[in-house]
Structure 1
């Protein structure tokens, strides 16, 4: 069933995808539907070249979690930045920490266009080593207040979203880019005067596009 839905999404024409994106007025409405299909639909609209379905196993608020999500790799979006031109863009998405908070839900992207914004703001320092096929991503703390990169630690409407301002994510492309593996270790600042919180996880998955 999942494969059939993925096929429906990726068979959309560019015009159809553009129409979908045009209707999304802000970051908060970009992921109103949090199913796998809607996530893939948006990632397709972000001109993704590579999409990986991943398993995320980790801890947040000192509690373990396991989730599924997606890692997207797309061409460079912004070439005029204050933190260096990214060799390409990367986004990790699992659930919707804004509209459906849950333990381990996260959006972490190198450019906020990949999480629904039209601003195309470069959010991170990105280094890629072609010899090892390893990409290292560090959030730019000066831009953390935009709220584009966030995670949540508990479910429910009272959950605190944590803005990611420090740490890193490191991923390695394997088997001729057919698989991906790595880790994320980031810290976030609560939007509701909560103390900072740490999010750590191991990421592994396979290419689906």
Structure 2
């Protein structure tokens, strides 16, 4: 018969064994310790696409070139405009000789806009010009003269607008040359004496050339025809004013 002491000893040993087994089970079942240190997620570095390389750059139209072109056009148009021509009425002095007789007298030089562009016997005059001193037809005197490119230029001439001469303008200088076949109209005339029988001479050649820019300077030298009895004579004078 087994004694109580042996039974107790056996039970105690069994309990110890059971306890040891349970401890081994707990050790096996216990999960591995989790590390509290966080492992950073791998960083993927994305390089942004260069917008400078992929962007199409649109260059605005060069306005400076357009402006320059407009300025050049304006300048060209300005340069193509007709140059300013001299104009006005000037009190001048004419001193010279006609038929060997010297004279010095006052006169009026007029440079006006074109009087007539119709009925001309030559090109239309850019301006019309006349030199007036005395009244050669009504009161003959040495050096008295009416000479112009159009009869309408002479105040009180009373004649129609007859184109009597050609006119050329070069800056401030104007040149007038009589048209020979218009001499017979009597629109241009000068005298060489104060005699009641003084011959009227009608310019058939020569020129009047004056420069009008602040002051007036120039010359007139024309040959006049007085008919078969009077023949030809030269009128030559300096113009200043």
TM-score of the aligned structures, taking structure 2 as reference length: 0.61
Matched with 1:169 is 208
Q: Where in structure 2 are the equivalents of 1:128-139 lying within 5 Å?
A: 128-130=169-171, 133-139=172-178
Q: Is residue 199 of structure 1 aligned with residue 199 of structure 2?
A: no
- Contact 2:128–2:148 (Cα < 8 Å) also in 1: yes
- Contact 2:96–2:102 (Cα < 8 Å) also in 1: yes
Runs of 4+ in 1 over 4 A off after TM superposition: none
> What secondary structure, in the 3-state scheme, does the structure 2 residue paired with 1:143 have?
helix
Which structure 1 segments of 5+ residues have no match?
1-48
CA apart distance, 1:96: 0.3
Distance 1:137 1:103 in 2: 22
**Deviations 1:25-46 (CA, angstroms, capped at 9, x unpaired):** xxxxxxxxxxxxxxxxxxxxxx
- Contact 1:100–1:156 (Cα < 8 Å) also in 2: no
Q: Which has the higher helix share?
A: 2
Matched with 1:62 is 100
Q: Given the alignment, which residue of 105, 110, 114 partners 1:72?
A: 110
Q: Is residue 187 of structure 1 aligned with residue 223 of structure 2?
A: yes
Pick 1 or 2: higher relative contact order, CA cutoff 8 A, min separation 6. Answer: 1
Distance 2:110 2:211 in 1: 13
How many pairs does the alignment contain?
Answer: 152
CA apart distance, 1:118: 4.2
Q: Which has the higher strand share?
A: 1
**Deviations 1:15-58 (CA, angstroms, capped at 9, x unpaired):** xxxxxxxxxxxxxxxxxxxxxxxxxxxxxxxxxx6111110010
Q: Is residue 106 of structure 1 aligned with residue 139 of structure 2?
A: no
- Contact 2:115–2:153 (Cα < 8 Å) also in 1: no
TM-score of the aligned structures, taking structure 1 as reference length: 0.70
- Contact 1:53–1:68 (Cα < 8 Å) also in 2: yes
CA apart distance, 1:123: 0.5
Provide closer, same or farther for how the CA distance between residues 159 and 118 of structure 1 changes in structure 2, counting only shifts above 3 A. closer
Q: Is residue 90 of structure 1 aligned with residue 125 of structure 2?
A: no
**Deviations 1:90-144 (CA, angstroms, capped at 9, x unpaired):** 11000000111000000001101123234211110100002xx110100000111
- Contact 1:136–1:170 (Cα < 8 Å) also in 2: yes
Matched with 2:161 is 120
Which structure 2 segments of 5+ residues have no match?
1-86
Provide closer, same or farther for how the CA distance between residues 64 and 118 of structure 1 changes in structure 2, counting only shifts above 3 A. closer
- Contact 1:97–1:105 (Cα < 8 Å) also in 2: yes
Q: Where in structure 2 are the equivalents of 1:22-41 lying within 5 Å?
A: none
RMSD: 1.3
